[in-house]
A and B are shown apart, each in its own frame.
Chain A
């Protein structure tokens, strides 16, 4: 495993297998009375969040604490560009305190990669702009693997605002590594630029027609669509979006009861996912959250526990 986790592309099949095996053990710890392992005693993990995300930050915080790391949350200023301090100044200051890992969320794509070039500590990308969110992809794949056994050859369908989705970018990379057949679905305005070229390099298919794709899906991953996108002219109304790309009751019926449904949250019920689908027995939404802690424990453990796992 590499020193940093910046992109889902950093992970090999073997890395993922190792991370998942460990995550399964960590998952068991979640159900114990004493949810504490000494593995990262004496390690310091900074959760550096330039963009608010209660969900991801708490997940990493719990993961670090259950592994006995000293976990500190620091809220980064939005863009420090206007305040005279560069991003480099900001992270160098924090790194100088002697930390072993920085879990970083930033509104700008590539920020985690840039930071990894400046500091000695391990950098874990907890979401960089509209680029990647590798631990989300890991927990999605972990959850689906537990449900489906393997992802090899399985048809996974991702639907939603792909242009602005870091979850999509990490997921297609990881799912390709795991041998899944992936189709991403969105209206043309929410398809990322140039996807017709680079989808071939990564290995996934694209479609504008959800109803054509759904009948062969082995799993469906719905992505959040922000209502603000309407003002950008990406789609006319939420009603029209739902009719074209929402996981409605009718589409749920097409899926049948055995096809798992994922959503990274937070959900826009009634927009991209109907309440019936969100709460269906096949919905893995809460399993994803619970897996999030286990997977992040596993990531922290493998990046930090062994020799060299510190600054």
Chain B
């Protein structure tokens, strides 16, 4: 019997951290919830004390393939995602070559299917070669086997307002969304490598101010209103962005936003030792921004948590701070960070976690098979979390190819116990199945 056909019985899990039930999975779907009888050949997962969530969905992952397979591949990135409790990830377009054609998108989709651990959904570039000038073949990517719906020049901002307006208008035809890396290049110079503020001034590092993000977010929500299209704010990082989002949502403008785990916890003062592990874009911000972002995530102003998992080879990080690559790992630790800063503190419930890490991101990305309720007939994309576990992060224990892990040595609460992709365990006991 292939693993696809084997029934799975999840015994005694607390659904979304609420009522406890047994869940029977047959043929990749939830067949029964309650006290089903286990078929004799069932794979029984003892979930006593564990929380069952819909499989996590990451709106923002860099898998580096094609181009930088020394830092991460679709396979190793999928492994990291599965270990982190994810069943679907959106793979950003800034690979080499860039995902700016239907063929490139299908290639990423196929690499994901070959790895078979999570659904790898390609994000298409907004502009050709991420150059910010001419639209990429958005429609062909949408019509491809990959069915691309999310478009982003991530890593670069679509700073030209005319290009952004046209992109927003154009994707309406197929229900697409533009995920914007909000960073005004005139306010955030090419050498900017951190948040502009007390620490950049003291350390003599060229920084970029929060307002460089906020002016783009403000502009984009007005463009979304004007075009009647959807805009998504990638990795919101400032309190000012939160204010703009709150206002825009109150106006009924179709704007959604994500925040990364690191912007929910890590702050600018970590730069004091010039450790490039903490170099990320948007940069780590001061405590007041972190507090505003947590609050916005809890009250729904920010829709989702997305990792911005950005693996880098050691030799791309072992440079002077301004010369080192931007980005940090995030897939394996995302749930633990959210549990630590939001659940432990009482700011959110596990049902809220399911909303911000699964159902909302799936809706934003248009992934019908993910982020579904824990109900009969739904695809069995599931994550079992041990809420009582406490782990100390060890960067060398990562299944990612890279080691730029800002969480190394920190203890995080909760841990992913098992992940199921369409009823097949990809992770058991916290390890790849």
Q: Do chains A and B touch in the complex (CB under 8 A)?
A: yes
Interface residues of A (CB under 8 A from B): 79-81, 84-89, 106-111, 113-114, 128-132, 163, 166, 169, 192-195, 197-198
Q: Is the CB of B201 within 8 A of A194?
A: yes
Interface check B164, CB cutoff 8 A: no
Interface check B394, CB cutoff 8 A: no
Q: How far is the CA of A110 from the CA of B321 in the complex (A)?
A: 7
Q: Which residues of A contact B148 (CB under 8 A)?
A: none
Interface check B319, CB cutoff 8 A: yes
Q: Is the CB of B202 within 8 A of A198?
A: yes
Q: Is the CB of B315 within 8 A of A129?
A: no
Q: Which residues of A contact B346 (CB under 8 A)?
A: none
Write the chain B residue with the least CB distance to A129.
B204
Q: How far is the CA of A193 from the CA of B203 in the complex (A)?
A: 10
Interface size on B, residues (CB 8 A): 25
B209 → A minimal CB distance (Å): 8
Interface check B199, CB cutoff 8 A: yes
Write the chain A residue with the least CB distance to B205.
A109
The 8 Å CB contact of A193, one of B198, B315, B318, is B198
Q: How far is the CA of A192 from the CA of B323 in the complex (A)?
A: 21
B149 → A minimal CB distance (Å): 35
User: Can you list 20 A-B pairs with a CB-CB distance of less than 8 A?
Assistant: A80-B319, A80-B323, A86-B319, A88-B319, A108-B323, A109-B322, A110-B274, A114-B274, A114-B320, A129-B205, A130-B205, A131-B205, A163-B201, A169-B202, A169-B204, A192-B200, A193-B196, A193-B198, A194-B200, A194-B201
Q: Which residues of A contact B202 (CB under 8 A)?
A: 169, 192, 194, 198
Q: How far is the CA of A132 from the CA of B274 in the complex (A)?
A: 13
**Residue among A79, A85, A87, A110 with most chain B CB within 10 A:** A110
Interface check B207, CB cutoff 8 A: yes
B178 → A minimal CB distance (Å): 30
B10 → A minimal CB distance (Å): 46
Q: Which residues of B contact A114 (CB under 8 A)?
A: 274, 320-321
Q: Which residues of A contact B139 (CB under 8 A)?
A: none
Q: Which residues of A contact B314 (CB under 8 A)?
A: 86
Q: Is the CB of A113 within 8 A of B273?
A: yes
Beta-carbon contacts under 8 Å, B181-214 to A: 196-207, 209
Q: Which residues of B contact A85 (CB under 8 A)?
A: 315
Q: Is the CB of A108 within 8 A of B321?
A: yes
B187 → A minimal CB distance (Å): 12
Write the chain B residue with the least CB distance to A81.
B323
Q: How far is the CA of A194 from the CA of B318 in the complex (A)?
A: 28
Q: How far is the CA of A131 from the CA of B200 in the complex (A)?
A: 10
The 8 Å CB contact of A197, one of B198, B204, B205, B206, is B198
Q: Is the CB of A87 within 8 A of B320?
A: yes
